Every structure is written in C-alpha cells, then in structure tokens.
Amino acid sequence: MKKIKWFLLIGITVSILFSCLIVVTAAEMTAEEIINKRDDNEYFDTAQMEAEMIIVSGSRKIIKTMDALTDKKNSLVEFTNSQDRGTKFLKREDDLWMFFPDAEEIIKISGHMLNQGMMGSDFSYQDVMEADKLTDLYDFEIIKEEEFEGRPCYVLEGIAREGVKVSYYRRVSWIDKERFIGLKEELYAESGRILKETKANVIEEIEGRWVPTNSVMENKLRKNTYTEFTITQISFNMEIPEETFSLQNLR
Amino acid sequence: MIVKKYFKIIVLFIIFFLLGSISISAKVDIGGELAVSLINIIDNEGNISAYPQASLDLELYIPPFDNNQIKSAVYLYTNPTTGQLDFMFKKLYLKHKFDKLHLTLGRQPISWSFGSMLNPVDFTLGSVVMDEETGSKYQTAVEAYIPLNWNSSVSLVAAFSEASQDIKWGLRGRTMIEGYDLTLNYVREPEIDFMGTIIPPSQRIGFTTKGDLGPLGVYGALGYYFKDNDNGNLAYLIGGDYSYFFEAGNKIYFQLEYLSMKKENLSSILGPFFAGNVTNNLNENIGLILGMANYEIDEFSQINLMAISNLNDGSIIVIPGYRNQLSNNLSFNLSTGIYFGKEDTLFGSNVSEGAQQKPKGMISIGLTYSF
C-alpha cells in the first residue's frame, strides 16, 4: 500500500512537472517565429482597400481619401478627395511614379522623396506602400513581455539588416500574444532618436485576419502633430491583372 | 481640311451620344477649383497697378466604361487687364483602350515633362515654366499610345493648331534602363501664321533621362533643333534635386538645373511669363541657371524661393512664394516675381524696339478653393 502511494505521488509530481514543461516550451516562441506569425497575419498576396487619412497639426486638420491596390511588391494609390482628385502613385519595388491629373503626365519621383510624408501626412510613401516582409528587412529579438492597453504583448526590437534600404534603422514592436498583430511600434533613426510612434486603435477580424482598421502615426520630432489612418473597406487575395501596376494604367 | 475643321464637333457629338446611351450618366460628378487673386504689377518707376483676377476650373468626372474614358474640363477666367470673361476647353476628349493601343481623340493635354523646371524638348515648348503651367499644353489632337511593357511605350501625336493649316506631329518613345527613365522624341512644327508673321516649319529631336545617383535625384535633356538650309542648334539641360531633413522634423527640398541653348529659341522655352530681351543677338548661346528651394514650415504651409539667372549677363528673376492650406479645400497663395538686371540684359528693365515693356516686379495674393 505504501509502495502504491509512493508511485502515485511520484507519478503526480512527474505529471505536474511535465505539464509545466509543455507550458514553458509553448510560451518560449522565438522572435523570428513571432514576427513570422505577425507577417502571416498582416501580409497578403493582394489587397484592395479604401482609406481615409486625417492629418492633424494643433487645432487644424485635413482629410485625404484614397483607393489602393497592392500585391507582394507593387502598390497603386489614387487619391479621391477633391483637392487631390485623380493624383496617382505607383510604387514598383524601389521606384515611385506619380501621375499629375491636370497635365496627364507621369513623372518618376526621386528616391529621396520616398521617405517624405505622403501628401503632407506622417506616413511616408515607404510606410504606406511598403510591401516587403519585416523578416526580410530586420533582425528581431525579444526584449521583454508586458501589457499594452490590457493586452499581453511580446515586445520585440528589430535592427535593420545590412545592405537593406529601410526608412527606420530600429523598431520596437508590441505584438499581441493572442492575435499576433502589432499594437504599438516605435520607429528610430540610426542615431537613436525616436522618429515616429504608431498605435493601432481599432482592430477587426476581416477574412480571417486581424486588421488594424484605425491607427495613428505620431511624428515625435514635432509637437501636436499626428496622422490618423482609417481603412473603410478592405478585401484580400483577389486577382489583380498584371498590367494594373504599369505606367499605362496610371494614365 | 474638312476633318480638322469639324474635328471638335465630331468628338463632342460622339461624347454626348455615348453619355446619352449609357447607364452610368447618374454617376457623373462635377468638381474643380475656384481661384481669386489680386495681381499687383510694379513698374520701373515704382508705381503699382492692381488687377483682380478670378478663374474657375470645372471638370466633369465620368466613370470609365467598356474601356472608354471621357474627360471634359473647362477653364473660365477673367482677363486681369480688361476684366473680360473668357474661357478655354482644357479637356474634351474620348479615349478608347484597345488591347495593344490607347486612342485619344479631342482636346487634351500633351505634356512630355520629366520633372525639370524648364523643358527644351517638350511637345510644345514653354507649356510648363518654373512649375507654372501655361495653356499651351492643351491641344486638339489625336494620340495613339502603344504600351510595350509596364514601363515602356511609344506614342504618336497629330495636333491641329488654329494658327496653322498643317498638322503638328510628335513621336515619343519611353523606357527604363538600370533605374533611369529614358525618353526619345521627335516633333515637327508646321508653318505658323503668327499675327501676320510667317514662322517657317521646323523639326527637333530630344532625349531625356531621370534617375537617382545616391541620395540625389538627377535628370537631363539633350535637344537638337533642325533648321532649313542652316546648321541646327543644340540645347542641353542638366539638373538635380535633394531633400534634407532637419532634426526638428522639417524638410527642405532643393532643385538646381542648367540650360544651354541659342537665344532665338529661348522665348519659346521661357513662355509668356518671362518675355525677356530676345530680339537682338539671336544666334548667341545663352546659359541659364535655375534654382529652387522649398521649405516645409509644417504639414500645412511652406515657403519657396525660385530664381533664374542668365550667366552671360548676370540678370536674374527671383520668385519667392508662400502657401498655406487653411482647411480641407481652401488654400492661401502668395507669390512675387522681381526682375534684376542692367539695361539690355535678358531680364533687365529696358527693352529693344518692338518688345514689350517689362515690369520691375509682381506680387500675387490669392485664395484657391477645391470642390
């Protein structure tokens, strides 16, 4: 009887220890696994969306609206608000082209303009039209875990890979542990100075993905200025004809 | 010829027929831009004359249908000196996209810009001058555009000018090599009757390139103007642009270019805004340097400074400006133009016999509303 009790005790103890090991092992995802899961959620073959961008500085604000199409490497954005109506941008890999609706001409935009705010916003052309996976651009590591606005998060730091052209040398990302979506991101220059901070205010599940349908980008170099980006309609993985991302389609 | 005479009417008829027979008529939208300004001209004695000006850009937005696109845009404006109302159709065309060809018939902008401030090889010289658009880019024309791949194309233009019985022809090829946008074009200008003066036909070929060299944007153009019975004239332009970001988050943008060409072709390039002294020494080679700096004060306002100088005689035009977007659709614009130069210089105050007296300066203050 005594032997049976000992075996039971040992068995229960081993089971508890084994369970803890499983839990610990499951929680110990690597940074790459976390970012890959985030990329799986946030990146897609193709997407079509309608969006609104509100640029705020102090008490003033301006609203821009746009339609966008994107695939893995290319993006096409057309502005639909009255002041910019018909203005289009085409990004193909590292090249940016702009269509001027009044003159109906297409001009290749210089590369240094990619990092400037799109139509005066805090989102650069690179921010809005970037299609590369983060794992292709940055080396990530987990620096801590903490809660952000009630959601448990992994906090990851990404440093730009050598030879890769990126707008931000370093990024610190708060990634929701359950939904694997970025809730907050700090974007830094190589000097260490924080340039921008972005937060996802509203997250919705659309076609099986968690999508930040409302986010805010704050320019940390200026006071009282930010841009709110709202996706009003989005759909994924539709077929986009090959000639969509072409100069002929800008005309 | 009969086709040229009734071309606009034929196109208009086709457009109205299509509009009347399709169900998308209910989705047609109207938009545009209303601008009011006060233009102050300062003469060499310091006297200021003020002229109010108003303009309305009105465009009909018709959704594309069955590979067709209809565009209609009219520009109404008051003449600043006479106060009379006038108008111009900027666009009134029908475009059809076939499988391997886009055909555009009617009044349309023909612009071969590549991002420079002056363009010596445009379809119509002087259609864009120092970031200011002139009306000369709008042509009654037929354009055949043939896309070859995503970044390459050939286009052929036949334009009908009111100042000529003959057709103006243009051919342009475009492609991209090693990240550089390249174009090659040919234009044949017909004989023109300009206020009783006959300007003989002429031809020109042009080459442009635009790309990046490290952190700089670079561009250039080379043009050759053929002349009957004479040697032709060569013109070339080289330029670059650069952005610098301040620690505080503001940005300044620079653009600088150099243009070399014969004086006799200069008035076309400079357009109606800058009618300098070009009636003497027409065979003289002129070197112009142009610069522009644009500083973003914040998300809604910017100041800029443009200058153009003739390196041969040191005369210069300086054009400071300020723009502030007051609200979603309303913006405030202030621009000035000041001429500096001794007598008989290109941008100087004095004029040759028969040329128009130039002002010393100009200040324009205005508001623009988009809807």
User: Is A222 within 8 Å of chain B by CB?
Assistant: yes
Q: How many CA atoms lie within 13 A of A175 on its CB side?
A: 29
Angle at A110 between CA B131 and CA B304, to 5 degrees: 40
How far is A117 from A183, CA to CA, in rounded Å?
Answer: 22
For residues A130 and A187, the model is more confident at: A187
Give the model's confidence band at B27: pLDDT under 50 very low, under 70 low, under 90 confident, else very high: confident
Q: Shortest CA distance to A46 belongs to which of A68, A76, A69, A78?
A: A69
Band (B76; pLDDT cuts 50, 70, 90)? very high
Confidence of residue A99 (pLDDT cuts 50, 70, 90): very high
Residues of A in contact with B298 (CB under 8 A): 57, 222, 225
Q: What pLDDT shows up at residue A29?
A: 83
Q: Which of A95, A112, A226 is best to mutate for the B interface (most B CBs within 10 A)?
A: A112
Q: Do A247 and B115 touch (CB under 8 A)?
A: no
d(CA B347, CA B309): 8
Q: In sequence order, what are the residues at sequence separation of 6 or more whose Cβ sits closer than 8 angstroms to the Cβ of residue B317? A: B274, B307, B308, B309, B337, B338, B339, B340, B347
Look at residue A123 in the predicted model and tell me its pLDDT: 79
Q: What is the ipTM of this complex?
A: 0.89
- Optimal mutation site among A99, A105, A244, interface B, most CBs of chain B within 10 A: A105
User: What's residue A150's pLDDT?
Assistant: 92
Of the segments A115-129, B4-18, B23-37, B69-83, which one has the largest average pLDDT value? Answer: B69-83
B17 backbone φψ class: left, alpha, beta (φ>0; ψ -120 to 50): alpha
Question: CB of A138 within 8 A of CB of A160?
Answer: yes
Q: Of chain B residues 141-200, which have a CB less than 8 A from chain A?
A: 145, 147, 149-151, 153, 174, 176, 179, 181
Give the model's pLDDT for residue B228.
67
Interface check for B327 against chain A (CB to CB < 8 A): the answer is yes
CA gap A173, A153 in Å, rounded: 9
| Cβ <8 Å between A108 and B210 | yes
How far apart, in Å, are the Cα atoms of B268 and each of A221, B78, B355? 45, 24, 15
Q: Does A245 touch chain B (CB under 8 A)?
A: yes
Q: What is the pLDDT of residues B145-162, one digit of tens each?
A: 999 999 999 999 999 987
What percent of chain A is predicted at pLDDT more than 70?
A: 87
Q: Angle A53-A58-A64 (CA atoms, 0-180°, nearest 5)?
A: 15
Residues of B in contact with A81 (CB under 8 A): 328
Check CB contact of B61 with chain A, cutoff 8 Å. Answer: yes
Closest approach of B125 to chain A, Cα-based (Å): 14
Confidence band for A19, pLDDT divided at 50, 70 and 90: very low
Chain A contacts in chain B segment 89-108 (CB below 8 A): 90, 102, 108
Distance CA B173, CA B160 (A): 21
The position carrying tokens 């004809």 is A241
B115: contact with A, CB 8 A cutoff: yes
pLDDT of residue A25: 43
By C-alpha distance, which of B332, B333, B369, B339 is closest to B357? B339
* Cα gap A42→A182, rounded to integer Å: 9
- The C-alpha atoms of residue B337 and residue B361 are separated, in whole angstroms, by 5
Q: Is residue A83 within 8 angstroms of chain B, CB to CB?
A: yes
User: In Å, how far are B31, B63, B334 from B22, measured between CA atoms?
Assistant: 21, 11, 44
For residue B353, what pLDDT is reported? 53
Q: Which of A15-19, A211-215, B56-60, B245-249 has the lowest mean pLDDT?
A: A15-19
Name the band, by pLDDT with cuts 50, 70 and 90, for residue B70: very high
A117 touches chain B (CB under 8 A): yes
> Is some CB atom of chain B closer than 8 A to the CB atom of A73?
no
CB A104 within 8 A of CB A91: no
Select from A105, A120, A248 the Cβ nearest to the Cβ of B299. A120
Query: What's the pLDDT score for residue A216?
Result: 95
Task: Give the start-to-end residue ranges of the domains of chain A.
Answer: 31-250
User: What pLDDT score does B22 carry?
Assistant: 57
The pTM of this model reads 0.87
Residue B47's domain is classified under what CATH number? 2.40.160.10
Taking only the tens place, the pLDDT of each residue in B343-362 is: 778 887 655 555 556 678 88
Q: Using alpha carbons, list the distances in angstroms from residue B135 to B74, B88, B111, B129, B272.
A: 12, 9, 11, 11, 10
Chain B residues close to A222, C-beta within 8 Å: 248-250, 298
**Which tokens sit at B136?**
């000369």
pLDDT of residue A141: 92
CA count, 13 A, side-chain hemisphere, A126: 14
* Phi, psi (rounded to 5 degrees) for B348: -75, 175
Average pLDDT over residues B49-66: 90
| pLDDT above 80 (res A4) | no
- The full DSSP string for A105-155 is EEEEEPGGGGGSBGGGSSSBHHHHH--S-HHHHEEEEEEEEEEETTEEEEE
Residue with the bigger pLDDT between A4 and B86: it is B86
pLDDT tens by residue, A23-78? 444 457 888 888 888 888 877 789 999 999 999 988 889 999 999 999 878 999 99
> May I ask the CATH class of domain A31-250?
mainly beta
Confidence of residue A11 (pLDDT cuts 50, 70, 90): low
Question: Considering chain A, what percentage of its residues have pLDDT values greater than 90?
Answer: 51
Instruction: Look at B245 and A115 and tell me if their CB atoms are within 8 Å.
Output: yes
Amino acid B207: pLDDT: 97
- Most B-contacting residue of A110, A165, A227 (CB-CB within 10 A), to test interface: A110
pLDDT digits (tens, 9 = 90+) for B212-263: 999 999 999 999 999 766 678 899 999 999 998 877 678 899 999 999 998 8
Q: Which residue of A has its CA nearest to B329?
A: A83
**B146 and B100 Cβ atoms separated by less than 8 Å:** yes
Scanning chain A, the segments in alpha helix (DSSP H) are 2-27, 31-42, 125-129, 134-137, 247-250
Domain span holding position B93: 2-370
What sign results for the dihedral spanned by CA atoms A117, A119, A122, A128? negative
B229 Cβ neighbours under 8 A, 6+ residues apart? none
Task: Decide if A149 touches B, using CB distance below 8 A.
Answer: no
Report the distance separating Cα B150 and Cα B145, nearest Å.
13
Number of domains into which chain B is organized: 1
Element (H, E) at B246: none
- The reply to whether A55 touches chain B by the CB within 8 Å rule is yes
- For the segment A147-166, what is each residue's pLDDT rounded down to a tens digit? 999 999 999 999 999 887 77
